[in-house]
Amino acid sequence: MAGLTLRNVGKSYGALQIMQGLNLDIHDGEFLVLVGPSGCGKSTLLRMIAGLEDITDGTVAIGDKVVNDLPASKRELSMVFQSYALYPHMTVAKNLAFGLQNFRMPKAEVERRVAEAARILQIEPLMARKPRQLSGGQKQRVAIGRAIVREPKLFLFDEPLSNLDAELRVQMRAELASLYARLGTTMIYVTHDQVEAMTMASRIVVLRAGKIEQVGTPQELYTRPQNLFVAGFIGSPKINMLAAEVRAEGGRPVARVAGFADFALPDLSTRDTRLTLCVRPGALHVGEGEVISEGTIRLVEYLGNETLLHVALASGQVVLLSVVGPAPYRAGQTIPIGFDLADLHYFDAEGRRLEPALPAQPQAAFA
Amino acid sequence: MKRFIARNAPGYIFLLPWLVGFFLLALGPILASLYLSFTRYDMVSAPRWIGFGNYEYMFTRDRRFWKALEVTFHYVVLAVPARLAMALAVAMLLDKGLRSIGLYRAIFYLPSLLGASIAIAILWRQLFDAHGVVNQALAYIGIRGPEWLTNPETSIYALVALAMWQFGSPMLIFLAGLRGIPRDLYEAAEIDGTPRWRQFTRITLPLLAPVIFFNLVLQTIEAFKTFSSAFIISNGTGAPADSMLFYTVYLFNEAFKFFRMGYASALAWVLLIIIAIFTATAFLTSKYWVHYENERD
């Protein structure tokens, strides 16, 4: 097992720089998920760690050993590919054993490891089959098995579940999580699916355009997104973003959001007059809240455990509102909606998170 | 019936030129040659039926027939693997992603376009002449080259070299095959520490097997039919000492030099049967060594 240290890592193809100044510490035994929209550089970063892409700038160290110039095979890691990359002409058993045979490992040891991996992944009945005789989920298991048998210090996963159907993806997600719990090996996992990231990660790295937007636990990312991008990327259904104009009234900031009555803001220690206020769909309520407005329902999506209401405000902006269980509403209906200030996330004109100062009253009460 | 004709007429009309060509120019002569192979025919007097006489003579008394078979087999065994190895090697180089690959593909294909021509065969004769370019080059590094084309021991190698040089068409097919092997198989192998040579023998070759098989069959048939280069280089005789007496050269001489048209026809049919036997064997054994991606189980 090993941790990983990235220092000022950059990547360019000729004159085209796609990544620069990346710093990241991946702890020993951590399940780290790299997430971001397509083209953000997450797969490239993984391939740089794997040794499949050159590191143009900075250093990557596994444990305390810089591996920039170490070939992939010497980095003691395994990788699971999106396409599974199984050898189509070999049986499952041979696919599992192939990587071990490179190291002239004794036959008995190869067999032991292959049998062990097959048992963990429950693919024993498939050992004599070829990849084309396997379903997507089975192929995925074999691909993971091929990574396990190496007993690596580090597992790399490159969007391993994206070729599976939705049901299987949920199942494999749980299996991967339990595999991680069992092996406790450091894992780096690339996905564009924030649900995968949220459910499996010890920590998540949100990447955009070759830069790290935020690193944190799933809960930190959800409850305290550091910028608008992370706020919008993490959480499903997507967070509502409301443009606010701030003016001072009697020395206190007051916000105006189109469609809502003006309301006093907590102290945000900013001089920006244009802020973005975000509120999660679950924190918007029908008919209650400190700040109230009215909207017309455009669409009702019943999901069983919750119902999503698409509500158009007077400004024309459509906000998402989620109600637990079934909701007695239909499209075209006008309803009052509201939210509490405590549920708001504040972002300045550059999209950076603003932390409201703690309210003064409780302190006054103690005084 | 009317509907069938109406619906399919355009197809048959498009097929027509080929059908006319096949029946008039190919099928007729094919059947005629089968008949002639059972006759004695000198192109002057009418063919005379002699039953299996030509075949009997061929297999029991004609030593030049056996010599021609030997030369041809020798050539096939050397030239086909040499050409395929050359083609695969060049294809793998090109597959590594050279810049302006299209240009290189065209350049590398050029020898194959030119290779079949008489001019190249003549050029080849000069290259391998006792004082030709090949020997001059060898002289530079201190090797005294043999008289390639007049020495029965070496003459065939000049032709094998020519065959190797014409690697273009199997190379293009190999290149397409290599492009079809997913990159990530090599990446997975790379991470697993698979040495390059093992990647080649355990991944590239097995996955390329269908393409190798296709090229092997095609090139072998091609090699059995080699004519113009051998004919030109040996001045149409198969000399020296019949060392370049390719089957087709012998056949040509029997037909158009000695006007034994009946016998030449029999030779042609025997060649056809040899090629058919080889091809059938290749297909029958292929299931043991050719892996098809989308094979049914």
Strand partners, A190: A34, A158
Which of A71, A85, A89 is the closest to B291 by Cβ? A89
Banded model confidence at residue A364, pLDDT cuts 50, 70, 90: very low
Q: Please list every residue in chain A whose beta carbon sits closer than 8 Å to the beta carbon of residue B202.
A: 87, 98
What whole-number distance in Å separates Cα of residue A6 and Cα of residue A294? 49
Q: Which of A 67-86 lie inside 8 A of B, CB atoms?
A: 71-75, 77-79, 81, 83, 85
Instruction: Note whether B203 and B187 are within 8 A (CB).
Output: no
Banded model confidence at residue B296, pLDDT cuts 50, 70, 90: very low
What pLDDT, in 10s, does the model give residues B160-210? Answer: 988 888 888 899 899 999 999 999 999 999 999 999 999 999 999 999 999
Banded model confidence at residue B98, pLDDT cuts 50, 70, 90: low
Phi and psi for A159 in degrees, rounded to 5?
40, 55
CB spacing of B187 vs A77 below 8 angstroms: no
CB spacing of B198 vs A133 below 8 angstroms: no
Q: Which region among A331-340, B25-34, B53-62, B109-118 has the lowest average model confidence (pLDDT)? A: B109-118
Is the per-residue pLDDT at A12 higher than 70? yes
- pLDDT, residue A2, reads 75
Q: Write the DSSP assignment of A291-341 as a string of letters.
A: EEEEEEEEEEEE-SSEEEEEEEETTS-EEEEEEES-----TT-EEEEEE-G
In chain B the domains, ranked by start, together with CATH numbers, are 54-289 (1.10.3720.10)
What whole-number distance in Å separates Cα of residue A159 and Cα of residue A196? 10
Q: Which of A 150-209 lie inside 8 A of B, CB atoms?
A: 150
What pLDDT, in 10s, does the model give residues B69-92? Answer: 999 999 999 999 999 999 999 899
Tokens matching residue B195:
């040495």
Nearest chain B residue to A100 by CA: give it: B192
In chain A the domains, ranked by start, together with CATH numbers, are 4-232 (3.40.50.300), 237-361 (2.40.50.140)
Is the per-residue pLDDT at A363 higher than 50? no
Which of B187, B193, B209 is the closest to A52 by Cβ? B187
**CA separation (Å) from A228 to A36, A239, A354, B23?**
14, 10, 11, 76
- Letter for the amino acid at B12? Y
Nearest chain A residue to B188 by CA: give it: A85
**Cα four-point dihedral sign A52, A55, A61, A66:** positive
Q: How far apart are the CA of A128 and the nearest CA of chain B, in angstroms?
A: 13
Contact pairs from chain A to chain B, CB under 8 Å: 68
Place of tokens 């197809």: B11
Helix (H, G, I), strand (E, B) or coil at A45: helix
CB spacing of B207 vs A89 below 8 angstroms: yes
Is the per-residue pLDDT at B257 higher than 70? yes
Nearest C-alpha neighbor of A123 from the set A107, A143, A109, A100: A143
Q: Please list every residue in chain A whose beta carbon sits closer than 8 Å to the beta carbon of residue B182.
A: 83, 85
**Which of B192, B202, B287 to mutate to test binding with chain A, by most A CBs within 10 Å of its CB?**
B192
Average pLDDT over residues B266-274: 96
- pLDDT, residue B295, reads 53
Is the per-residue pLDDT at B132 higher than 50? yes
- What is the value of ipTM here, to two decimals? 0.84
Is the per-residue pLDDT at B259 higher than 90? yes
CB spacing of B187 vs A132 below 8 angstroms: no
Predicted TM-score of the model (pTM)? 0.83
Helix (H, G, I), strand (E, B) or coil at B142: coil
Preceding peptide of A237 cis, ω within 30°: yes
Banded model confidence at residue A286, pLDDT cuts 50, 70, 90: very high
Helix (H, G, I), strand (E, B) or coil at B232: helix
Q: Please, what is the Cα angle at A1 between A151 and A150, to 5 degrees? A: 10
Q: How far apart are the CA of B91 and the nearest CA of chain A, in angstroms?
A: 22
- pLDDT, residue B178, reads 94
Nearest chain A residue to B182 by CA: give it: A85
User: Alpha helix locations (H) across chain B?
Assistant: 2-21, 28-36, 53-60, 63-95, 101-115, 118-127, 133-140, 155-165, 168-179, 183-191, 196-199, 205-224, 228-233, 247-256, 261-289
Nearest chain A residue to B187 by CA: give it: A52
Q: Which of A 92-131 lie inside 8 A of B, CB atoms?
A: 98-99, 102-103
